[in-house]
């Protein structure tokens, strides 16, 4: 027992004796490592993790060599070999771990950015819809009160008020329908019944449906086709895409202007192009036209025809429906206005009819 106690005391005394020397050699290495880490603070996380692992390994090596008095004995060589093996294992592990953490950090940052963008989009949508709902509701309320109070009694005036109330009600119904459609798209709840759909029929029906609006505004709507493609899609949603694009083009085209709807085929894709005479879209806004509730500035030709403007949802809905069909929609300035171009996959059963 006495010998064991003396051995323990001797070992403790030996450790306390060499500890200052170990710190003397290891601390400068740690200080230099800290400086290197500071210099590398803007580099990749994998690089930082590698240096962070190397610092204690190098400090240990320097400390062991310093305590040994630079006497490279067999025991010292064994210790150095062990440190080297540890470094060979820990450094690659640090690199892999750093890359994994970096990828996760990037993913989390992108997820936060998407969440902030979605929240900003929701707030903007609520602001736009609140503004657009307030105007027709206030008009309906005022006209209804006038009718109820007997302020309007002439048959012609009563009929006019009833027609205006009906128009505002239709507008509100359309906005509610747009909101419902957009909510289905953003929630991923859109269910498409895919079939082979001739775009000729879809375009003709959409143009015919928008003809009364175009005539009231004195806008010519022209159809031109290099081919009549048959696409793989859902008929109601395809009709909604074309109707939204044509309606948007008519709304932003001045009186006596022209809207052109063109069809063609490029490889295994059908091309639908809608040209308007809006005067063009500013470069700093053209990338945002498909955002929810975005309407842009007055750089585009203002609508003075008296027709009601949209709720800023039509193009966002069109984009969502096109992407649900595994297609692509884009816009660029073209001639006197801009061109909205939709690309959709052709049906496999037939290319054209």
In the beta sheet, which residues pair with residue 331? 340
pLDDT, residue 174, reads: 78
Task: Verify that 341 and 205 share a domain, yes or no.
Answer: yes
Q: For residue 353, is it within any domain?
A: no
Work out the average pLDDT over 203-216: 90
Residue 1 pLDDT > 60, yes or no? no
Q: For residue 113, is it within any domain?
A: no
Q: Which of 27-31, 122-126, 163-167, 218-222 has the highest mean pLDDT?
A: 218-222
Which residue, of 83, 108, 133, is where some domain finishes? 108
Q: Is the dihedral of CA 316, 321, 326, 332 positive or negative?
A: negative
Task: Verify that 100 and 130 share a domain, yes or no.
Answer: no
Task: Verify that 268 and 206 share a domain, yes or no.
Answer: yes
Task: Verify that 291 and 223 share a domain, yes or no.
Answer: yes
User: Can you tell me whether residue 202 is helix, strand or coil?
Assistant: helix
Q: For residue 11, is it within any domain?
A: yes
Is residue 21 very low, low, confident or very high in pLDDT (cuts 50, 70, 90)?
low
Task: Verify that 161 and 214 share a domain, yes or no.
Answer: no
Which residue, of 162, 186, 210, is where some domain finishes? 186
Q: For residue 227, is it within any domain?
A: yes
Q: For residue 145, is it within any domain?
A: yes
Are 214 and 250 contacting, i.e. CB atoms less than 8 angstroms apart?
A: yes
Residue 164 pLDDT > 50, yes or no? yes
Residue 219 pLDDT > 90, yes or no? yes
Task: Verify that 129 and 85 share a domain, yes or no.
Answer: no
Task: Verify that 182 and 204 share a domain, yes or no.
Answer: no
Average pLDDT, whole number, for the chain?
A: 79
Higher pLDDT, 279 or 75: 279
Q: Which of 349, 353, 345 is nearest to 231 (CA)?
A: 345
- What's the number of CA atoms in the CB half-sphere (13 Å) around residue 1? 0
Least confident of 7-21, 67-81, 124-138, 161-175: 7-21
Task: Report the alpha-carbon angle 109-110-116, nearest 5.
Answer: 90
Residue 350 pLDDT > 60, yes or no? no
Is residue 269 very low, low, confident or very high in pLDDT (cuts 50, 70, 90)?
very high
Residue 327 tokens read as 């297609």
Domain that holds residue 19: 2-108
pLDDT, residue 343, reads: 95
User: Can you tell me whether residue 319 is helix, strand or coil?
Assistant: helix
Domain count, the chain: 3
Q: For residue 143, is it within any domain?
A: yes
Q: For residue 68, is it within any domain?
A: yes
Task: Verify that 62 and 159 share a domain, yes or no.
Answer: no
From residue 305, alpha-carbon distances to 47, 302, 309 in Å are 63, 9, 10
Task: Verify that 215 and 180 share a domain, yes or no.
Answer: no
Work out the average pLDDT over 124-141: 76
Task: Verify that 16 and 155 share a domain, yes or no.
Answer: no
Residue 232 pLDDT > 80, yes or no? yes
Q: What is the CATH number of the domain that holds 142?
A: 1.10.287.130
Q: Which of 114, 101, 113 is nearest to 52 (CA)?
A: 101
Work out the average pLDDT over 214-235: 89
Which residue, of 163, 186, 209, is where some domain finishes? 186
Residue 271 pLDDT > 80, yes or no? yes
Q: For residue 260, is it within any domain?
A: yes
Is residue 302 very low, low, confident or very high in pLDDT (cuts 50, 70, 90)?
very low
What is the H or E stretch that residue 223 is in? strand 220-225
């Amino acid at each position: 027992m006495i010998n064991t106690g003396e051995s323990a005391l001797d070992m403790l005394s030996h450790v306390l004796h060499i500890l200052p020397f170990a710190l003397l050699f290891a601390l400068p290495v740690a200080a230099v490592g800290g400086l290197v880490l500071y210099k590398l603070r803007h580099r990749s996380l994998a690089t930082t993790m590698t240096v962070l692992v190397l610092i204690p390994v190098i400090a240990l090596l320097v400390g062991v060599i310093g305590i040994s008095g630079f006497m490279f004995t067999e025991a010292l060589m064994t210790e150095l070999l062990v440190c080297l093996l540890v470094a060979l294992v820990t450094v690659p592990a640090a690199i892999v771990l750093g890359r994994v953490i970096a990828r996760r950090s990037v993913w989390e940052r992108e997820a936060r950015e998407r969440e902030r963008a979605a929240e900003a989009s929701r707030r903007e949508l609520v602001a736009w819809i609140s503004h657009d709902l307030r105007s027709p509701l206030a008009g309906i309320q005022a006209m209804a009160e006038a009718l109820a109070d007997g302020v309007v009694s002439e048959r012609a005036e009563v009929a006019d008020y009833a027609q205006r109330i009906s128009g505002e009600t239709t507008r509100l119904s359309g906005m509610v329908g747009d909101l419902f459609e957009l909510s289905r798209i953003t929630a991923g709840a859109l269910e498409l019944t895919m079939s082979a759909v001739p775009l000729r029929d879809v375009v003709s029906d959409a143009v015919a449906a928008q003809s009364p609006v175009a005539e009231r505004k004195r806008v010519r709507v022209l159809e031109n086709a290099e081919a009549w493609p048959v696409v793989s899609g859902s008929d109601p949603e395809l009709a909604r895409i074309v109707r939204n694009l044509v309606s948007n083009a008519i709304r932003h085209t001045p009186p006596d202007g022209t809207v052109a709807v063109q069809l063609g085929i490029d490889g295994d894709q059908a091309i639908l192009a809608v040209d308007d005479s809006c005067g063009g879209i500013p470069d700093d806004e053209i990338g945002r036209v498909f955002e929810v509730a975005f309407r842009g500035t007055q750089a585009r030709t203002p609508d003075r025809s008296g027709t009601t403007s949209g709720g800023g949802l039509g193009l966002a809905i069109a984009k969502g429906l096109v992407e649900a069909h595994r297609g692509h929609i884009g816009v660029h300035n073209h001639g006197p206005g801009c061109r909205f171009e939709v690309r959709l996959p052709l049906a496999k059963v037939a290319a054209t009819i």
